[in-house]
Amino acid sequence: MSSTASPAGSAVTLSTKLYYGFGSVAYGVKDNGFSYMLLIYYNQVLGLPASWVGAGLMIALIFDAFSDPLVGYFSDNLHAKWGRRHPFMYAAAVPTTVAFYLLWNPPDGLSPPELFFYFVTVAIAVRTFLTFYEIPSTSLVAELTDNYDVRTSMLSFRYFFGWWGGLGMAVLAYFFLLPQAKGGILYGPGYETYGAIGSCIIFAAILISALGTHRHIPTLKAPPAKRPFAMRRTLEELKETLANRSFLVLFVSALFTAMAAGVSTSLNIYFNSFFWELTTEQMGTLNLPFFLSAGAALVLAPRVSIRLGKKHAALIIAGLAFFAAPLPILLRLLDLLPANGTDALFYTLFAFGTVEVTLIIAASILISSMVADVVEESELVTGRRSEGVFFAARSFAQKAVHGIGTFSATIILTLVDFPSGAKPGQVAPGVLQDLGLVYVPIIMILYVAAFGFLTGYRISRESHQDHVQRLTHDGPN
């Protein structure tokens, strides 16, 4: 493997972008299940209290989150025939597949405490095994190219396929696996089939991406020289690496964004089912334009980045996304939206959702590309390339605090006295109004904080090019 500068952006072909991007289908499938389906399945279908499920999800997320930096660090320093990243990617395929299937197919006859223990254990397994794939796989972007704009293009494909993977599972669930005639979101066998299909897709996505990018192994960055493992030195190097100012502001911004996302995604199906009183078929239809949103973001993010630079593009797009997120619920609380059950309401939600998701995906692409550009700035100071550590640390922030957000969602449900086993149309209007009144200000505060920290990022196109040139000619300090 070469230890010289990264290959030129022009060397990254469309097939490389497609194989790199397709790997995120696995994460998209997992994320759709954990963010939108697990809470309602284990709470309303299997009967665990919402607070138990929320606590279980938070435990799994935090346990997984602490494994992220270690996986990133060991991936950065691995010496193997197949490079630093691919051994982890191949090894994760089978255990992730099996664990995801088991999560949706628990044994019959378990008592509530036994089911809770099973749920937490298998959820931890799914997240941890997938981490061994996702962190090394995502980190490849900073090795495959050092080009400021090509990195954004590659991550556009990554997010495009990730969203298509998750959306495909959502459409499959709402249209085919959870038919309204069989109970809709309360139809247990549909979730079992969901787990079986999802596990097969995860296996295929991991292997296709790993095999498709395998040919690049000889040109990827070499790991640092082998040294005996020392925990103290490892911790000191992690501390030095993560002290980068531009990374820290992205890290803290990700904390607030992830907490907001945890609250939002966990309550999404509650708002759709009870607040808006949508059928499962309507929920599935609302997901259809998101396929176009992913395509629009695939085009939008690189073009805006070229025109404005990543930081300014991210601030504009993220600011619009943060503003749009709570707007439909706020307008309903102000009685400014059409009544439930009307076509006018459905098409209003359709339009809001399409625009919001396009902005969210585009902002996520830009911010991930900003993380990739921290690698060279950090290398100049530390003498180490730490792609895995940076992407793992950002993942740590998203997972750990997303778990807190998910748990917070269950606390919100408890505070407003949301009933277990509830059916759409039978929840008291006062409870639904309280749900909206608590949700909107929480989301707004979290997004304003995320935006504020994002303004502190300092790497521009010019400074990144300077970092690359200095590394090419002079090497790290």
Distance CA 287, CA 344 (A): 17
pLDDT of residue 305: 94
Distance between CA atoms of residues 156 and 468, nearest Å: 22
* Mean pLDDT, rounded, of the chain: 88
Q: Which two tokens stand for residue 411?
A: 């606390």
Give the angle subtended at the CA of 201 by the CAs of 199 and 205, to the nearest 5°.
Answer: 120
Average pLDDT on 271-291 reads 88
Distance CA 38, CA 16 (A): 33
Which H or E run includes 94? helix 86-103
For residue 451, give the nearest of 317, 266, 358 by alpha carbon.
Answer: 317
More confident residue, 280 or 143: 143
CB atoms within 10 A of CB 380: 16
Q: Is 141 left (phi over 0), alpha (psi -120 to 50) or beta?
A: alpha
Q: Is residue 230 very low, low, confident or very high in pLDDT (cuts 50, 70, 90)?
A: low
pLDDT (tens digit per residue) in 400-440: 666 678 778 888 998 998 887 777 888 889 999 999 999 99
Write down the residue that tokens 């109970």 correspond to: 183
Which CATH number goes with the domain that contains 161?
1.20.1250.20
pLDDT at 161 over 50: yes
**And the tokens for 49?**
């209290």
What CA–CA distances, in Å, run from 467 to 20, 375, 459, 464?
A: 25, 10, 10, 5
Residue 6 counted as domain residue? no
- Report the alpha-carbon distance of residue 287 to residue 292 in Å, rounded: 10
The predicted structure's pLDDT at residue 58: 80
Give domain status of residue 1, yes or no.
no
For residue 282, give its domain range. Answer: 20-221+232-473
On the question of pLDDT at 221 being above 90, the answer is: no
Joined tokens for residue 215: 């040919």
| Rg, the chain, Cα only | 22
In this predicted model, what pLDDT tens digit does every residue of 302-313 receive, in sequence order? 999 999 999 999
For Cα atoms 308, 314, 315, give the angle at the middle one, nearest 5 degrees: 95
383 domain-assigned: yes
Q: How confident is the model at residue 2 (pLDDT cuts 50, 70, 90)?
A: very low
Indicate the number of domains in the chain. 1
Report the alpha-carbon distance of residue 444 to residue 440 in Å, rounded.
6
Percent of the chain with pLDDT over 70: 94
| pLDDT tens per residue across span 87-130 | 999 999 999 999 999 999 999 999 999 999 999 999 999 999 99
Residue 306 domain flag: yes
* Structural domain contains residue 202: yes
The encoded tokens of residue 250 equal: 């992205």
Query: Within a domain: residue 78?
Result: yes
Mean pLDDT for 233-255 is: 83
- One DSSP character per residue, 361-394 reads HHHHHHHHHHHHHHHHHHHHHHS---HHHHHHHH
What is the spatial distance between Cα 382 and Cα 70, in angstroms, rounded to a whole number? 18
pLDDT of residue 279: 87
* Gap between the Cα atoms of 266 and 271, Å rounded: 10
Does the pLDDT of residue 5 top 50, yes or no? Answer: no
Q: For residue 14, what are the CA distances in angstroms to 153, 213, 221, 304, 463? A: 10, 12, 21, 20, 27
Integer angstrom CA distances of residue 321 from 46, 147, 318, 325: 35, 27, 5, 6
Residues in the chain: 477
Query: What are the backbone dihedrals phi and psi of residue 248, each rounded to the nearest 5 degrees, phi first?
Result: -60, -40
Whether pLDDT at 64 is above 90: no
pLDDT for position 61? 78
Please report whether residue 119 resides in a domain. yes
pLDDT at 261: 86
Contacts of 429 (CB under 8 A, 6+ apart): none
Is 14 within the bounds of a domain? no
Return the pLDDT at 297: 94
Nearest 5°: CA angle at 218, between 217 and 219?
A: 90
Can you tell me the distance from the alpha carbon of 3 to that of 7, in angstroms, rounded to the nearest whole number? 11
